[in-house]
Amino acid sequence: MQTVASKFIRSIQREFNIEKLSTKLENWTELPFDEFLKELAKNKIKLSLAQKAEWEDYYQQQSKAAQNIKSEIDKTDKEIDQMVYELYGLSEEEIRIVEESIK
């Protein structure tokens, strides 16, 4: 996921000549596209309708790729957790306590 996110950030910086991105732009995967556009506007970047459409397609594509990777990581984390629970022979109650403590 880091590679996808970093590549997208570099694309923004190169395309719009932004040296330092806002925290929201750095965490672009958490933004809906309209908020992404608002963050660009805060940096005095105005896009034409055609540019917005092009960026929306690119944004959605990259966002989907990042989400797919995040889902795979989450799935793998859960599988590892289950393996550890089995390895240590934890009961359902012990598993519940462990999971509540890490939230």
pLDDT tens digits, 28-86? 999 999 999 999 999 999 999 999 999 999 999 999 999 999 999 999 999 999 999 99
Cα atoms in the Cβ-side hemisphere of radius 13 Å centred on 36:
21
Q: Is pLDDT of 8 > 80?
A: yes
Q: What burial letters (b/e) apply to 63-82, b meaning 16+ CB within 10 Å?
A: bebbeebeeeeeeeeeeeee
Q: What's the predicted TM-score (pTM) here?
A: 0.76
What pLDDT, on a 0 to 100 scale, did the predictor assign at position 91?
Answer: 95
Confidence of residue 1 (pLDDT cuts 50, 70, 90): low
